[in-house]
């Protein structure tokens, strides 16, 4: 479980903490229209979608400040006793910037209706702030793009060219671009309905201290808020209705979208008469669904195999391989003889569709005039058939399928403190506010074969192979007997599988392509010399160009995936993020001070499997302990005048965990030979393999972290020691590997102030990143090794020869010898990354210390537990 309870408590004790990304400020001055004198204590009220969201009074100089303000388009109502009220509409508040609205009120009789004026954007933005740009709601509605990414690239310095959909800012890598959605740092997809986006701000340089240490740039997305009155809308867009391999409509790429949004109050406050006064709960909802038959249209389409050629290839995939001398040597794939006439051009990529749905929900709770509570959530789900250039020509039906689910939710509480009316324009503390936000995000991604999913043993299964086997003998001249020396396959028969019929068709033809199905006479008691045939063993079948379980056909021309070849990727990535952030700010004079803190913990887990090869691994790990003969126990038989010495199978101690589990499941004897290829794939499960079986001494079939070797998510935090020592009830190692769980903490202080209409923004930020995982104390040594100080005296005399430690070798230098086990001489020393030979002379290449091609080895301490915690330290 994430360790945040203590830290969260510490955060709540502190009043001022971290600033939320994406809030703005409204400032201005209210004066008399005729005299230009300041109007103190004038009322300034801010409205969003008809809801009163904030308000304040001017000071003795007629100045006012309202913050924090969510980005959006507001109405500002300014009033003063004895003056005509004025309402300024269309005031755009931008994230992390100050907007100025000054007003001149005319003296006269108070009127119920305020004078309404439209806000005009100033020619010069006084608060230039960080470099970049902001795209507001009005501009977003006019743009053809629908995603935040397409909107962001309209800002100078942001580009998607050559990035495969990501945004590069000023040439930096797309991974260096940070995304925020309503103050949440995004992990995973940033997809949103267009109708939910209020503003997109792109920061390309001069990143302020409250945002962070982004090395590229920042894209800050602000979502729309709820409104005072209900409204809603929807739209449907289509470029063509998909039908088969094409679409009918404006184009053949089949883009279809439906989107809707709604907002309004769901609960009201009531006055003393019981009438509705102000909204208590406001709701905003937005969602869309998109289907695209081809997400990346091409100018001239793509090639694919003609349907008639494909059917012919599935019916007759092979031909005999006949040499110039007429000798038959296995089979050849007919696909290797295809020409350009066998292919046609189609306008769209096949089996490359994408479906996606996005949802945004936001609930605003107006707890009172100075506090606000907001709940928000976004979700994005996507189902994609991955286009693969290698499969597009003949095997598009087997494109991998990817799915992902990204969701995030947050709760934010903010409070403003009302300034005292008797405060002057001096240096007192004003416009004090704070806000606290906690958010949680999760991104889940899976890649799998579209037909088999997580039925791992159906990947690569072509059928049932029945293997017939007999003893093999060697004639001993001295004893005049035939002596048993092993076992030999004599015949293989095949029954096709329904799981991969296109691949099974290859074997179906192969096993009827040649005349010899017998494998020749047997060799042993009552038999003669064995003659191999194309069907005499699995090896002969494989050499003849048929497929064994766990094999895909070779690529045609070394480029194009063969018809029916299965994908060999099963991947899961599960990333989680928990954050606590808060904001505290106050104005002293013209100085807007902020102090902040942020805590973030991530958990990145993954599981990768190559499932096709599991059949090969099963074949290798089964029966491995009974492949030898037991010469201590023999049986002598005779056939006529010939005598045969036959041995039983030797029961070895090198049994794999898979074999042990398989025999338990089959209730098979330890000496019984098991034919893996004759077992139904639905009988197997991945957890029959041991962790070491799947890791396969470095040629691994799986990789994982935060999951076990079988794809089950784990919540514990295993140590390095656990990886080397933890075992199951049968005594086999389980090899647990924990998820990557780094911790990020940041704090900052900043000051924003004006001087003669010049705005200064200065700040200091401190970031701390904790990888939260152990690393080797000495990157060159796994375990505990001797230093020069350890061996001075009697210990060095255990080695042969003259092993004098030079005077310039320090006590903390690591000692290197001529062998890892049973060393006989010191060959060198090391201090950090600096190497020395045995005479104490510094050298640049430690390879010269090699003795008889054996590299120098650290002198390890006896009985050292190389897997213990001592060699490691947290970083």
Contacts with 171 (C-beta within 8 Å, 6 or more apart), sequence order:
none
**pLDDT-based confidence at 525, cuts 50/70/90?**
low
Span 648-673, mean pLDDT?
93
What angle do the packed helices 657-666 and 614-621 form, to 10 degrees?
A: 90
Mean pLDDT highest for which of 108-122, 129-143, 166-180?
A: 166-180
Q: What is the pLDDT of residue 127?
A: 62
> In this structure, are residues 44 and 59 in contact, taking their beta carbons and an 8 Å threshold?
no
Closest to 219 (Cα-Cα) out of 190, 188, 195: 190
The side-by-side arrangement of strands in the sheet containing 834-837 is 842-843, 834-837, 826-831, 814-817, 857-858
Span 572-591, mean pLDDT?
91
CA distance 295 to 382: 13
Domain residue ranges of the chain, discontinuous segments joined by +:
5-118, 456-488+509-567+610-725, 776-874
Per-residue pLDDT at 367 exceeds 90 = no
Q: What is the pLDDT of residue 522?
A: 46
Closest to 221 (Cα-Cα) out of 261, 258, 249, 193: 193
3-class DSSP state for residue 335?
helix
Closest to 351 (Cα-Cα) out of 385, 393, 400: 385
Chain segment 688-737, per-residue pLDDT in tens: 999 999 999 999 999 999 999 999 999 999 998 899 999 999 999 999 99
What is the average pLDDT value for the chain, to the nearest integer?
Answer: 87
| Domain boundaries 5-118, corresponding CATH code | 2.60.40.1120
Q: Element (H or E) spanning 848, and its range? A: none
CA distance 74 to 46: 7
Q: What is the pLDDT of residue 429?
A: 80
Beta bridge partners of 433: 416, 585
Strands 86-93 and 115-118: parallel
Chain segment 451-485, per-residue pLDDT in tens: 999 999 999 999 999 999 899 999 999 888 999 99
CA distance 853 to 849: 9
164 alpha carbon, distance to own chain's centre: 16
Mean pLDDT highest for which of 318-327, 486-495, 801-810?
A: 486-495
Strands 131-136 and 51-57: unpaired
CA dihedral 102, 103, 104, 107 (to 10 degrees): -150
CA distance 532 to 543: 12
CA distance 398 to 561: 10
Chain segment 480-523, per-residue pLDDT in tens: 899 999 998 999 999 999 999 999 999 999 998 887 644 444 44
3-class DSSP state for residue 845?
coil
Span 344-370, mean pLDDT?
92
Chain segment 378-436, per-residue pLDDT in tens: 999 999 999 999 999 999 999 999 999 999 999 999 988 876 655 444 557 888 889 99
Chain segment 741-794, per-residue pLDDT in tens: 999 999 999 998 877 667 788 899 999 999 998 888 899 998 889 999 988 877
Q: What is the pLDDT of residue 121?
A: 65
């Amino acid at each position: 479980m994430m360790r945040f309870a203590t830290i969260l408590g510490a955060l709540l004790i502190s009043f001022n903490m971290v600033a939320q990304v994406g809030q703005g400020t409204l400032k201005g001055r209210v004066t008399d229209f005729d005299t230009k004198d300041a109007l103190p204590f004038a009322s300034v009220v801010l409205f969003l979608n008809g809801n009163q969201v904030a308000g304040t009074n001017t000071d003795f100089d007629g100045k006012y400040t309202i913050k924090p303000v969510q980005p959006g388009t507001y109405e500002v109502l300014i009033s003063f006793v004895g003056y005509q009220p004025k309402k300024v509409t269309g005031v755009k508040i931008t994230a992390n910037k100050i907007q100025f609205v000054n007003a001149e009120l005319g003296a006269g009789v108070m009127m119920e209706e305020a004078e309404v004026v439209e806000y005009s954007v100033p020619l010069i933005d006084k608060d230039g702030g960080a470099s970049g740009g902001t795209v507001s709601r009005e501009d977003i509605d006019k743009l053809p793009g629908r995603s935040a990414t397409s909107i962001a690239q309209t800002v100078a310095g942001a580009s998607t060219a050559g990035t495969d959909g990501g945004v590069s800012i000023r040439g930096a890598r797309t991974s260096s671009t940070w995304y925020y959605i309503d103050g949440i740092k995004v992990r995973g997809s940033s997809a949103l309905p267009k109708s939910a986006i209020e503003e997109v701000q792109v920061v390309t340089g001069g990143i302020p201290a409250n945002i962070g240490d982004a090395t590229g740039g920042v894209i800050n997305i602000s979502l729309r808020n709820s409104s005072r009155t209900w409204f809603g809308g929807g739209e449907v867009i289509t470029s063509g209705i998909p039908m088969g391999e094409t679409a009918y409509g404006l184009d053949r790429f089949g883009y279809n979208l439906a989107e809707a949004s709604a907002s309004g109050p769901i609960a009201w406050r009531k006055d003393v008469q019981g009438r509705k006064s102000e909204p208590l709960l406001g709701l905003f909802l937005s969602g869309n669904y998109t289907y695209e038959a081809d997400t990346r249209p091409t100018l001239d389409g793509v090639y694919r195999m003609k349907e008639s050629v494909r059917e012919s290839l599935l019916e007759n995939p092979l031909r005999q391989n006949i040499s110039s001398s007429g000798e038959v040597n296995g089979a050849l794939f007919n696909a290797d003889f295809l020409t350009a006439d066998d292919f046609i051009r189609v306008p769209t990529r096949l089996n490359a569709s994408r479906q996606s749905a996005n949802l945004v929900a936001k609930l605003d709770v107006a707890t009172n005039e100075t506090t606000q509570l907001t709940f928000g959530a976004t979700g994005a789900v996507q189902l994609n058939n991955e286009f693969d250039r290698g499969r597009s020509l003949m095997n598009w039906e087997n494109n991998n399928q990817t799915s992902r689910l990204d969701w995030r939710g947050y709760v934010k509480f903010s409070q403003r403190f009302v300034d005292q009316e008797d405060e002057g324009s001096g240096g007192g503390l004003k416009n004090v506010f704070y806000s606290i936000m906690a958010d949680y995000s999760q991104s889940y991604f899976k890649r799998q074969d579209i037909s088999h999913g997580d039925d791992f043993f159906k990947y690569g299964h072509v059928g049932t192979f029945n293997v017939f086997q007999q003893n093999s003998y060697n004639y001993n001249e001295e004893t005049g007997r035939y002596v048993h020396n092993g076992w030999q396959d004599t015949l293989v028969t095949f029954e096709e599988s329904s799981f991969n019929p296109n691949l099974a068709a290859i074997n179906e033809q192969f096993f009827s392509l040649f005349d010899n199905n017998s494998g020749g006479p047997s060799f042993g008691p009552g038999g003669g010399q064995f003659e191999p045939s194309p069907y005499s063993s699995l090896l002969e079948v494989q050499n003849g160009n048929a497929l064994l379980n766990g094999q895909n056909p070779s690529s045609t021309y070394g480029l194009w995936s063969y018809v029916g070849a299965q994908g060999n990727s099963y991947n899961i990535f599960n990333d989680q993020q928990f954050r606590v952030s808060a904001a505290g700010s106050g104005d002293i004079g013209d100085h807007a001070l902020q102090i902040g803190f942020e805590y973030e913990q991530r958990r990145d887990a993954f599981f990768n499997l190559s499932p096709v090869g599991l059949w090969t691994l099963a074949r290798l790990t089964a029966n491995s302990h009974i492949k030898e003969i037991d010469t201590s126990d023999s049986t002598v038989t005779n056939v006529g005048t010939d005598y045969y010495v036959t041995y039983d199978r030797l029961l070895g101690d090198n049994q794999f965990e898979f074999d042990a589990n398989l025999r338990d499941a089959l209730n098979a004897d330890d000496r019984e030979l098991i034919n893996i290829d004759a077992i139904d794939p639905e009988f197997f499960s991945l957890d029959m393999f041991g962790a070491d079986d799947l890791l396969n001494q470095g040629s691994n079939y799986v990789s994982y972290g935060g999951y076990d070797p079988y794809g089950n998510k784990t919540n514990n935090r295993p140590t390095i020691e656990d990886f080397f020592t933890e075992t199951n009830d049968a005594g086999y190692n389980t090899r647990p590997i924990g998820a990557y769980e780094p911790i990020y903490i940041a704090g900052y202080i900043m000051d924003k102030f004006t001087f003669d209409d010049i705005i200064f923004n200065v700040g200091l930020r401190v970031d701390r990143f904790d990888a939260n995982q152990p690393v080797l104390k000495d990157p060159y040594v796994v375990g505990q090794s001797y230093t020069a100080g350890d061996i001075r005296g009697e210990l060095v005399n255990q080695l042969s020869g003259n092993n004098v430690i030079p005077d310039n070798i320090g006590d903390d230098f690591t000692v290197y010898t001529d062998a890892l086990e049973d060393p006989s001489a010191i060959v060198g020393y090391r201090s950090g990354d600096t190497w020395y030979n045995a005479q104490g002379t510094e050298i640049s290449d430690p390879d010269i210390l090699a003795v008889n091609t054996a590299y120098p080895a650290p002198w390890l301490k006896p009985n050292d537990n190389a897997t213990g915690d001592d060699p490691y330290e947290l970083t």
